[in-house]
Amino acid sequence: MSKNPPEVKYFEPPVYIAEADIKARVRELAQKINAEYGMQEITAICTLKGGIVFFTDLLRHLKMPVVCEFLGVSSYGNHTESTGEVKVTLDLNEPLIGRHVLVVEDIVDTGLTLSYLQDYLKMKKPASVKTAALLFKPEALKTPDLKIDYIGFEIPNRFVVGYGLDYAEKFRGLPYIGTLE
């Protein structure tokens, strides 16, 4: 029987990465993606729910034709650490055969979710699969062979919220990345 998360009273967590820094870095990542793909169409896959803010901001700066897909995945439940078990909660609508795929993730810590997704998507026979993650926690990585093509920020192994990231579904709407201590 799982425990319910402790009740979280809403407050403004301290800023860890400022909104202006996030916006600048998202533009830089988009420039790299634009340079790599040119005008070649891609299928961008947003991992829900946490990736939605990063995904939409990144899309605004991409120049090539983009087909948007959404994939619901969960490895946290109502915990502050990954459970290690990845669940697909919403699957893709379109086939990926022969398509260039860009997976857009909010955060990579253990790497288990992204590793699972890369294997899952490769079974769908795309032309290529690349990944973009806003945040990466190298200290927490449990999948040393994991490849992340575009990384926004490397951060220490601390629990962060905001800019789509949550704790028990709270704090997603913060325009910055904050910390919960």
Return the active site residues.
109
d(CA 55, CA 129): 16
Q: What is the identity of the amino acid at 13?
A: P
139 φψ region: left (φ > 0), alpha (ψ -120 to 50), beta (else): alpha
Residue with tokens 């998360």: 5
- What dihedral angle (degrees, nearest 10) is formed by the CA atoms of 88, 79, 159, 156? -70
Identity of the amino acid at 104: V
Find out whether 146 and 127 touch, Cβ atoms under 8 Å: no
Rounded to whole angstroms, what are the CA distances from 106 to 51, 102, 133? 4, 13, 6
The β-bridge partners of 129 are: 101
